[in-house]
Amino acid sequence: MKALHFGAGNIGRGFIGKLLAESGAELAFADANHQLVDQLNHAQQYRVHVVGAQHQIDVINRIVAVDANSEAVIDQIRHADLITTAVGPQVLEKIASTLARGLQLRFDEPNLAPLNIIACENMVRGTAHLKAAVLACLPEQYHGRLEQCVGFVDSAVDRIVPPAAANDADPLEVTVESFSEWIVDKDQFRGPIPQVAGMELTDNLIAFVERKLFTLNTGHIVTAYLGNLAGYQTIREAIADPQIRQTVKRAMEQSGEVLVRRYGFDRQLHGAYIEKILGRFANPYLVDEIERVGRQPLRKLGPADRLVKPLLGTLEYGLPNDALLEGIAAALCYRNAADPQALELQGWIAEFGVLDALCRATGLAADSAEAARIVQRYQALSGQALS
């Protein structure tokens, strides 16, 4: 199997690329970082530290890398059996034109062998978003062949891969947690489903997408924003605070009850899943910076994201939501001079007031009881931060 993976950063190397290589794929990384591409081609291998209850080092080899803006990546697209991405939601549209060029040449040859594309991003239906962007770049006469030959497979991914500390001796080395989950929609593939160890198949992907969004993502971001208010630097420091841990756990339990009602998840098993995530946040071997987790607060306050979407679910089913409201109020307090979205959010609050800023970011109605409660908690939390 020839696999092309866009994004040779820590997540690309430590998660998806690792699984592909270990499954025997002929793997090429594509990245816009010329230095990283050169380093991978020179070494043709890298080390992954897998940390958890035990610590092991895996060596990933037999790899190549290409510049994501070069003709070499077009050639990879022409011959690939599987294409994956880990580039971040905002970069997906930038690679769509590259994919469209490669697909056009592939179809002209003609190479009509099945090709499957999976966006492994921290977003809901990321591959569907990528497909729409590719279709917008691809001449219409090729759309029929794309539908026939190319599977755009949505997925849910979960693995904490913090930024690696500078390592002059081995700049390719990456550290990841031992837990990982990659769930894909088995009904969206074209041709035989690729055999990749660690890739799980489901016919109900949205349930697992929301399970991750409402649990890992919700808990992570509430930990980050409450931890930021308390002056902590890392997720581990924040979750060690008993008061923060209690609020985070309650937020995940409240969002979890939505999942139980909506998808029939077993309440006891989901409770165990929450405990596992709390343990992951406390992993002593991972240095996960609050600044990394908390960045882009406007995106994370969006109506389809990790704070507001579970809140809307609690309203749908008439469930408690005080901890989720606390997390949203803490998000409004987030300040980071290096984060454009944090600056924009604080600008809105300064110019229009907190209620207007909240409604702009979340889509909540200004006259809703939830908006009033969030503003009340914001005032209390921001007062604590200033005292």
Let me know the angle formed at the C-alpha of 181 by 175 and 182, rounded to the nearest 5 degrees.
110
What is the model's pLDDT at position 144? 97
**Tens of pLDDT, residues 196-224:** 999 999 999 999 999 999 999 999 999 99
118 is in an annotated binding site: no
179 is in an annotated binding site: no
9 is in an annotated binding site: yes
According to DSSP, the β-strands at 2-6 and 26-31 are parallel
11 is in an annotated binding site: yes
CA distance 58 to 48: 5
Residue 300 has pLDDT above 90, yes or no: yes
> Which string of DSSP letters, residue by residue, matches 190-219?
-SSPP--TTEEEES-HHHHHHHHIIIIIHH
> Which string of DSSP letters, residue by residue, matches 109-163?
TT--S-EEEEE--SSTTHHHHHHHHHHHHS-GGGHHHHHHHEEE--EEEE---PP
Domains and CATH numbers, the chain: 2-203 (3.40.50.720), 206-386 (1.10.1040.10)
Contact 156, 135 (CB under 8 A): no
pLDDT confidence band for 231 (50 / 70 / 90)? very high
Q: What percent of the chain has pLDDT over 90?
A: 91
Contact 337, 295 (CB under 8 A): no
Q: Which of 50, 44, 41, 42 is nearest to 19 (CA)?
A: 50
Hey, what are 78's tokens? 């022409």
311 is in an annotated binding site: no
C-alpha distances out from residue 370 to 297, 307, 345, 374, Å:
19, 13, 19, 6
What is the model's pLDDT at position 194? 96
What is the model's pLDDT at position 172? 94
12 is in an annotated binding site: yes
For CA atoms 298, 303, 308, 310, the dihedral sign is negative
Please identify which residue in the block is written with the tokens 């581990």.
Answer: 236
**Tens of pLDDT, residues 46-73:** 999 999 877 899 999 989 999 999 999 9
52 is in an annotated binding site: no
- The reply to whether omega before 110 is within 30° of 0 (cis) is yes
6 is in an annotated binding site: yes
13 is in an annotated binding site: yes
> Max CA-CA distance within the chain?
68
10 is in an annotated binding site: yes
What is the model's pLDDT at position 18? 97
pLDDT confidence band for 96 (50 / 70 / 90)? very high
Alpha-carbon torsion, ordered 118, 120, 126, 131, to 10 deg = -30
